[in-house]
Chain A
Amino acid sequence: MGKVVAYLKTPLTINWSLSYSCNFSCSHCYSRGSNISEVTTDEIMRVVDKISAAKIPFINFGGGEPLLIKDLLEITKYAVSKNLNVSMNSNGFLLDKNMAIGLKDAGFATVGISIDSAVPEIHDTFRNMKGSFEKATAALQNLRDAGVKTTMSSVISKINHKDFQSFVTIAEKYDVSQLFLHNFKCTGKGFDNREEFDLSPEEWKEFYIEALAYKNSNKDIDISFDDPVMAHVDGFDRNALVKGSTCGKVSLHIRPNGDITPCGFIDIVIGNIITDDIKDIWNNSEVLGKMRNKTPQGKCTSCASYEECVGGCTARSLALTGDINNPDPHCWV
C-alpha cells in the first residue's frame, strides 16, 4: 500500500452550500447571518458540468438547509446522470416519507441527518426549533424505509460530550451507516457562542480518549472524527493518507454565489466556480498552498505529533488566533 500523497490534481469532494437559507437557527451554525446572493438553477447545472469535467466524483450539499432548495431533486438527478456521487446534510425537519422517496428516486447516495443530543429537549433548544429531534429521527426512519443510506452528524459540545454513546444507540436503532462526531468549529454563530458550547482543551482530551477507545473496541458501528488534534491520543490511526486538516487537500467548499473557499468554516475566497477554472484554483491558489505547507509555530515546533496533526484544525486556528500556522486552541499538549 503506497503511503505517499502526491497531491491530487483536482479535489475529490465539493462541499456545496446551494443556499444559506434555513428553517432553523442553530447555536453553532457557521452560515447563519450570511447574506449572500444565489446562482440560478441553470448556472448550478453548468457548475455540475464543470465538476464532472474536472473528474471530481463527490458532491455534498450543505447550507443552509438543502431541502429548501426548490430544484434540489432536479439538480441531483442531473448530477447523478453525470456520474457524480451526491450526498447531503439536512436537519431532517422537512424530510417526510414522500421526500425520502423523492431523494431515493433522485439518486442520493447518502443523506446525513444532524442530531446534537439524544435528549429531545436539549437537541430542540440547541437547534432553536421545537419538535426538531422528533422530526430528525423520523427522517432517519423515512430514509431507511425508502432505502436511502443514511449518516448521522453530531457536533460535539458542552451539551453532549459526556453522553456521546447515546448517539451510537440512535445510529444503531436507525441502521445509520456512519456516525460523524464533529469537532466544534468557531465560525459564525459557533464563534459567537463558543464560550457557552466549546469544550476546554482538557475536556477535548477526555472526550477523544474515551471516544477513540470506544470506536476501536466497537467495530459494528462506523464512527468518524474530523479533528486532527486526535493525533495526540493513543490508538489514533497514523496510517491516514492526508495529515492534519483535509480541507484544501481533498475537498473545497462552494458558497451559494459560486465563491470558492477552502472549507465552509474558512472565510477566505479563493475564486469563483462560475468564472474561474477549478483546476487552476486547486493547483495554483496561494491560500491552498499555505494550508498544505503550514509552518509550525509555538508549541507545535517541538511537538512529536506534528507530522500527524499538522497544527490541528486550520479553520479553528485561523478563527481564534488569526494565523493558520498557530497551534489549534483545542490542543491540550
Chain B
Amino acid sequence: MKITRNEDIFFRKEAETKKEVDELLQDEEADDKGYITLIDSGTMHQLNYLGGRIWELCDGSRNLFGIVDVLSGEFDVDEEDLKSDIEDFIEELMQRGWLQYG
C-alpha cells in the first residue's frame, strides 16, 4: 500500500539546513541533525536525517519497498537493517497520525 502524509500536519523543508547537514555528513556522523520541521497542533517537531528523507518520500507514490529501494541507494548500510529502521519509523508516525496509507 502507498504511504502518504497527513495533510493536516504542516511541514517545512529547511533547505539551507539540509545543505549544511549534507556537507557535515561527508566527514562525520550527523544523522541526528534534521532538516524537516513538522507542526502538529502548534507543537514543533524535527525529524532526524533519515526520518526527513522518509518523510519526503511518503508522497503517496511509493509503498514501503519503494521507499527502501530509494534510500538503499543513498545510505551505505545493510539493506535489512535499513528496511527495519524505515518500518519502525513509519509505524511510529502512523501511530501519531502523521502518516497514513492511501
Contact = CB atoms under 8 A, between A and B. Distances in A.
B12 A241 contact: no
Interface in A43-58: 55, 57-58
Contacts of A3: 32, 46
Interface string A177-207: 1100000000000000000000000000000
B17 A242 contact: no
B41 to A, nearest CB: 6
Most chain B CB within a 10 A radius of its CB, from A1, A55, A224, A250: A1
A85 interface: yes
A2 B29 CA distance: 13
A321 B32 CA distance: 38
Contacts of B16: 9
Interface of B: 10, 12, 14, 16-17, 20-21, 32-35, 37, 39, 41-49, 51, 92
A8 interface: yes
Given A224-B42, A241-B46, A6 B12 contact: no
B39 A2 contact: no
Given A2-B32, A55-B12, A178 B45 contact: no
A9 B17 contact: yes
Contacts of B45: 1, 241
Size class of the contact patch on chain A: 20 to 34
Interface of A: 1-6, 8-9, 12, 55, 57-58, 85, 177-178, 222, 224, 240-242, 250
Contacts of B44: 12, 241-242, 250
A177 B92 CA distance: 24
Nearest to B96: A1
A123 B34 CA distance: 44
A178 B42 contact: yes
13 contacts: A1-B46, A1-B92, A2-B34, A2-B47, A6-B20, A6-B21, A8-B17, A9-B17, A85-B10, A222-B41, A224-B42, A241-B44, A241-B46
Contacts of A222: 41
Contact of B14 (A1, A9, A177, A178): A9
A5 B39 contact: no
B32 A57 contact: no
Contact of B10 (A5, A57, A177): A57
Most chain B CB within a 10 A radius of its CB, from A4, A177, A240: A4
Nearest to A246: B44
A6 B17 CA distance: 8
Nearest to A7: B17
Contacts of A250: 44
Question: 3 tightest A-B contacts by CB?
Answer: A2-B48, A2-B34, A9-B16
B41 A1 contact: no
A1 B37 contact: no
A62 to B, nearest CB: 15
B55 to A, nearest CB: 11
A6 B42 contact: no
Nearest to B16: A9
A240 B45 CA distance: 8
A4 B33 contact: yes
Contacts of A4: 32-34, 46
A6 B33 contact: yes
A57 B10 CA distance: 9
Given A1-B92, A240-B43, 17 more contacts: A1-B48, A1-B51, A2-B32, A2-B47, A2-B51, A4-B33, A4-B46, A6-B14, A6-B21, A6-B34, A8-B17, A9-B14, A9-B16, A12-B37, A57-B39, A241-B44, A250-B44
Contact of A8 (B14, B33, B48, B51): B14
A49 to B, nearest CB: 18
A229 B14 CA distance: 30
